[in-house]
Structure 1
Amino acid sequence: MKKTIKVGAILIAAVTCSVNSFSADQLTVAQGYDPQNLDPIDTFRLSWGSIGSNIFEGLIQRDETLKLSPGLATSWDFLDDNSRIRFHLREGVKFHNGEPFNADAVKYTFDRLLGEQGMKGPQRSNYTSIDTVNVVDEFTVDFVMNQVDPVLITKLAGYGAMIVPPKYIEQVGEEAFDRKPVGTGPYQVVNYEPSVAVELKRFDDYWNGTAKTEFVTIRFIAEPATRMAELMSGGIDISLNIPSTSVEALKNNKGVDLVTVPGPTVYMMRFKTTDAITADPRVREAINIAIDRDVILTALLGGFGETIASAQGERSFGFDPSLEKYSYNPTRAKTLLAQAGVKPGTKITLDIQNNDETFREVSQVISSYLSQVGLDLSIRSNDSNIMSSDLIPNGKTGELFLFAWGGWTFDFDNTAYLLYHSGERFNPYIADETLDALLEQQRGTYDREVREKALQEVSQYIRSNHLELPLFNTAAMFGVSKKVSGFTPAPDDRVRYMDVAVED
């Protein structure tokens, strides 16, 4: 049943329903993580991308093959020696509340992102190369740049750059927008209950066609075993975040397909480099070579992924194929620890998230490996939101902390700058002038050769100083019911449901 809610001068079409009220023409999806906030500037999580990509759009689109194409902008031109980028906007587009998309909406989006509201979230630092956004006319805007940004066009296709409605936000407020956002995408938000589900309904005035399924319910099922049981019993149609421990069971289930694609997500352990025994590079190298990554990849991840030498996979721009991976060498690890004065039985702590079953097991195996070289590793399990919003940014971790990074731009800049540049949110411990200079150098040019060389030097510097412990580049894995048609796996987990249908 539809009803109309009046908020100020804006009419908002709403649908009254509950999580289990949809029956026909519905797709049910499960994912392990809830972003806890649907505002695109308030999160960096892939769990937002798999929801927000159906609600919001940017000036640029990127499809599942990573190809960039026009989105809410039909074209763009680099002007004034690249110091200004002019975007020509698509006409006839509406937000879900009926508000028109235009140049004012684009300016509002980036003023908000780069202003006080954006400073509260993690996305702003991706877009600080933009000085101002100026309205030229109703469907033309100029981005005035304060520096070159060779990754900007890609970044405009995702996350913080999603275009939002000025009037709606100003009238309902920021907190309401977190829970009931409005975009221009093929689906609109009906209801969002944190930690339970988000319900979407087809937006019939969508400018780029009509979604095949009217309703999409995305359930948050943190426990992997429960999620897999629901998938294999037919309770859900698609599941993201497939644990490696369920791969064989899915392969043997006649009603479900396991769909995989090489992804951007890398797993690593990062070091507290400012104090404790991990301030010593010999200790960091010892821990790196005390772990047999190949065995873990095969035994616990089912071989779905690759071991890595740096915080990126082969598809990432800036990847250095010559960078040597750490080789398993427990004998040398013991020697290095002895040289560093570390006594057998020394206790250290690894912080992990409490909702990742696979990497709980990985952590246990790592603990066993480290015990063989004389380190007593304690594993501390944390709420994922507390870990990302408090422990890491405020430098409260143990000597090691497990870190997953979805480098969705497939450009190492977006990973390396945020992880290694001094003062960045996810870099509580490294402050290094050499790294800062390299990172700024590659951000200051559109020359791909210069950028690639600088980014490879960043990886080499991290490796030579043993500043982190790279583990795996994982595959993106999806469980899909055989009743589902039109599903395309997204390497960056930004799954789109517009063309997906479910047979009765």
Structure 2
Amino acid sequence: MSLNRRDLLQRSGGMLAAGTPALGTLLWSAPARAAIGDTLTVAYNAMPPSWDPNLGVHAVNPTLQTILRTLYDPLITQNEDLSLAPGVIDQFSWNAEKTRMTLRLRTGVKWQDGTPLTPADIEWNLKRFGEKGANVLAPIWSSIKNIRVAGQNISFDVEPYRANMLQRLTFLCCYLIPRHHYEKVGKEGFEKQPMGSGPYMLEQFERGAYARFKANPHYWGPKPAFENVVFKFVTDPTSRVAEIERGTSDLTMDIPYEEYDRLIKRPGLAGTIGPITDVSILFFNSNGVMEDINVRKAAVHAIDKKAIVDRLHRGYGTSVDTLLAPQYLGFDASIRTPYDPKLAAELLAKSGYSTSKPVEFTIQTTRGYKPKDYETMQAIVEMWRRVGIKANLEVYDIAKQFELRSQHKLAPAAFYNWGNATADPESSLGSAMQSTSVFSSWKSKDVDERMIPLFSERDDAKRLEGYKALNRYIAEQAYILPLFQYHLPVVFKAELNHKHHMAGFVLPATITRKS
């Protein structure tokens, strides 16, 4: 694999246009626009800052999972409806007491260099997941204890009990990497030569521009329809629209909804759109101005979520009042924080604020990362202004968001899209609201006291009722501001088949040509 721009220029025969931060004339040419050929080109909205799929805060970014799953396999996969499916692990189960779990490794799986993937590799990865200070989900993986290998089976205790451990093995920081390769090249060498067992191998990577993959000849699953896949890193949504409109990319996503509606009417283009497990939220920081419950509750009640979804998002979205979307386990539609600007103004008045003497703070947001993210925050700023909140917009990129959140340095209010493909409440509340989590911005013991016992609750009905009560409490205290469940727009050339995935994955290995 080449990571050197000079080598890339030489290999492309000097075809990179001057001043073009991209792929070279070959990928921008008329022939490339006319036919897809053996290469699927995707205009994508994010770039992995590292190729280790399990280490660093970037590893929990839901948007990056599409790229990571192109190169790596999780232990267990998911169908489009989020149900568990066999993958590298083709059988998985709890024992009757739900104290021990057994996984069976599919026979014949190989790493991308042709070396067999063994049960010992699974054991090494499970132990690596739980290494303190490495994997950001190590506090969860540390429940995996007493690993034993017998033939193709790998079994282990789960202590303390985690009700959603099987689901956890499908999503975030659970990707398999080869021990023999990692120990040979080391941490820095792995960044230059990443390896997995997934459908594609990384061939070329130009930071800030693109990543090029080629099909893995040793892949255990169905042969992908495309020999090569290119992810162009196009962070500006207008540029993503231009990519698909002029035909220099075959597929793109997370574009403005009005552009989606327009593009799918054009000859030669098609699209899919539907709800995904991402929830748009505003984190509140537990330090500073948001310590005032009147300010928090006013900020919540001043927002007309339905108007935002209907007008800005053209109806593509579902307003929510908790961290859980309707498809999540434990969702409770009776928990409501209604739009009530009169109540918002009254709450602010209790703390001495008004439209003539507003409370002032910073709100952080991405711009173009998700459809209408910046415009949504502009609308919220205006709604807040009308009741006595002066919010100053500050734009950051998603990498900065993760950095600030892990340091507990987010602004009083900060936009994020919370992804939870497990659809289990623990994966949302247990990460976003636990005070010791690097992902939480609101940190308070009253939440921990109500939540932590639920992690080890073996009675599932009791556990889910506990999460409903916790969600109601968090909503009443206005510790976080959920906005709406995202709908993911994907536009692609009409000769392609793409199926909507509830987790928001757009996986090149599953995209086919129409016959």
Shared fold by TM > 0.5? Answer: yes
Q: Does residue 279 of the first structure (1) align with residue 295 of the second (2)?
A: no
- Mapped partners of 2:135, 2:435: distance in 1: 18
2:81 to 65, 71, 84: 65
The one-letter code matched in structure 2 to 1:311 is L
Check the 8 A contact 1:27/1:215 in 2, yes or no: yes
Provide the rounded CA distance (Å) in 2 between the counterparts of 1:251 and 1:501: 18
Q: Calculate the TM-score normalised by the size of structure 1.
A: 0.90
Corresponding residue number in structure 1 for 2:464: 452
Q: Which residue of 2 aligns with 1:342?
A: 353
Rounded to whole Å, the distance in 1 between the matches of 2:86 and 2:271 is 31
Partner of 1:370: 384
**2:92 paired residue number:** 76
Deviation at 1:472, TM superposition (A): 0.7
* CA distance in structure 2 between the partners assigned to 1:430 and 1:207 by the alignment: 44
Partners of 2:315 and 2:192 in 1: how far apart? 38
Does the aligned pair in 2 maintain the 1:355–1:384 contact within 8 Å? no
Which residue number corresponds to residue 249 of structure 1?
262
Query: Do the aligned residues in 1 keep the contact of 2:52 with 2:191 (CA within 8 Å)?
Result: yes
What's 2:213 paired with?
200
Q: Distance in 1 between matches of 2:92 and 2:310?
A: 46
Alpha-carbon contact 2:92-2:101 (below 8 Å) kept: yes
Q: Deviations over 1:198-241 (max 9, x none)?
A: 11111122122311110111111001001001112211111122
- For 1:108, give the aligned amino acid: W
Matched, 1:31 2:66: no
Percent of aligned pairs sharing the same letter: 22
Which has a greater percent of strand? 1
TM-fit CA distance, 1:174:
1.6
Contact 1:34 1:47 in 2 (8 A): no
Query: Cα 1:19–1:502, aligned 2, differ >3 Å: closer, same or farther?
Result: farther
Match of 2:272 in 1: 259
Taking only aligned residues, the RMSD between alpha carbons, in angstroms, comes to 2.2
> Which residue does 2:121 correspond to in 1?
105
8 Å Cα contact 2:210/2:231 also seen in 1: yes
- Match of 1:320? 332
Aligned residue number for residue 5 of structure 2: none
Question: Structure 2 vs 1, CA of residues 475 and 125 (structure 1 numbering), >3 Å: closer, same or farther?
Answer: farther
Aligned residues of 1:371 and 1:377 also touching (Cα < 8 A): yes
Residue pair 2:82, 2:503 contacting (<8 A) in 1 also: no
Counterpart of 1:386 (choices 382, 394, 400) is 400
SS of alignment partner, residue 147 of structure 1: coil
What SS is found at the alignment partner of 1:99? coil
Alpha-carbon distance in structure 2 between the residues aligned to 1:36 and 1:347:
34
Match of 1:307 among 304, 319, 326: 319
Q: Deviations over 1:127-170 (max 9, x none)?
A: 23212433334x22222221222211111123311221001011
Equivalent residue for 1:8? none
Aligned residue pairs: how many? 483
Structure 2 unaligned segments of length 5 or more: list them: 3-10, 13-21
Which of 483, 486, 506 is matched with 1:495 structurally?
A: 506
Match of 1:146? 159
In the alignment, structure 1 segments of 5+ residues that lack a partner are 4-15
Contact 1:35 1:45 in 2 (8 A): no
Q: Secondary structure of the residue that 1:229 maps to in structure 2?
A: helix
SS at match of 1:297: helix
The residue aligned with 1:131 is 145
Q: Deviations over 1:281-312 (max 9, x none)?
A: 11111111111111111111111011101012
In 1: Cα distance, 2:226 partner to 2:260 partner: 28
Instruction: Write the letter of the residue equivalent to 1:243.
Output: P
CA deviation after TM superposition for structure 1 residue 111, in Å: 1.6
Write the distance in 2 (CA, Å) between the matches of 1:132 and 1:438: 29
Opposite residue 424 of structure 1, the aligned amino acid is S
State TM-score, norm by structure 2: 0.88
- How far apart are 1:355 and its partner, in Å? 4.2
Asked if the contact 1:230/1:236 (under 8 Å) is kept, the reply is yes
- How far, CA to CA, are the matches of 1:108 and 1:335 in structure 2? 57
Using the TM superposition, give the Cα deviation of residue 67 of structure 1 relative to its aligned residue in structure 2, in angstroms.
2.0
Distance in 2 between the 1:445 and 1:429 partners? 24
CA drift of 1:122 comes to 2.7
Q: Which residue of 2 aligns with 1:475?
A: 487
Per-residue deviation at 1:121?
4.2
- State the one-letter code of the partner of 1:177: F
- Report deviation, 1:438: 3.2
Q: 1:456 to 1:178 in 2, by over 3 A?
A: farther
Secondary structure of the residue aligned to 2:66 is: helix
What amino acid maps onto 1:64 in structure 2?
Answer: E
Taking the aligned partners of 1:195 and 1:258, their CA distance within structure 2 comes to: 27
What SS does structure 1 have at the residue aligned with 2:509?
A: coil
Q: Distance in 2 between matches of 1:447 and 1:246?
A: 47
The CA deviation at 1:467 is 0.9
